[in-house]
């Protein structure tokens, strides 16, 4: 936030006619430096956001993989129960 106020104060000083050519040159230099720093901060922020998004994506993928594994295990158990019931039914039919 402070980085944004510095360029604004420089622009305000220039707009108010901050005076001597050397003061204007200094204000322009400060404005360029502030713009560079703002660009660097934005770049760093973008990098951090990209890293966090990657981590979120990895967490979602891991969660989806775990859910798929649980579904696979549940369907395996259901298939096993169905096989047991089928075998029991066949045994009952042969016994009768």
Task: Kindly report the pTM of this predicted structure.
Answer: 0.50
DSSP state of 19: -
Structural domain count, the chain: 1
pLDDT at site 30: 82
The domain in which residue 88 lies consists of 2-95
Torsion sign across C-alpha atoms 80, 81, 87, 90: negative
- From residue 91, give the alpha-carbon distance in Å to each of 41, 46, 57, 61, 88: 75, 67, 51, 45, 5
- Does residue 39 carry a pLDDT above 90? no
Find all residues with CB under 8 Å of 31, minimum gap 6, and list them. 7, 10, 11, 14
As a whole number of Å, the CA-based R_g of the chain is 34
User: Out of 6-15, 26-35, 55-64, 66-75, which region has the weakest mean confidence (pLDDT)?
Assistant: 6-15
């Amino acid at each position: 936030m402070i980085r944004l106020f510095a360029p604004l104060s420089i622009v305000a000083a220039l707009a108010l006619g901050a005076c001597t050519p050397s003061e204007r040159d200094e204000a322009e230099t400060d404005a360029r430096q502030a713009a560079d720093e703002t660009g660097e901060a934005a770049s760093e922020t973008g990098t951090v956001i990209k890293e966090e998004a990657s981590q979120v994506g990895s967490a979602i993928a891991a969660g989806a993989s775990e859910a798929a594994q649980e579904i696979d295990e549940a369907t395996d158990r259901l298939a096993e129960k169905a096989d047991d019931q089928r075998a029991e039914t066949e045994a009952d039919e042969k016994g009768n």
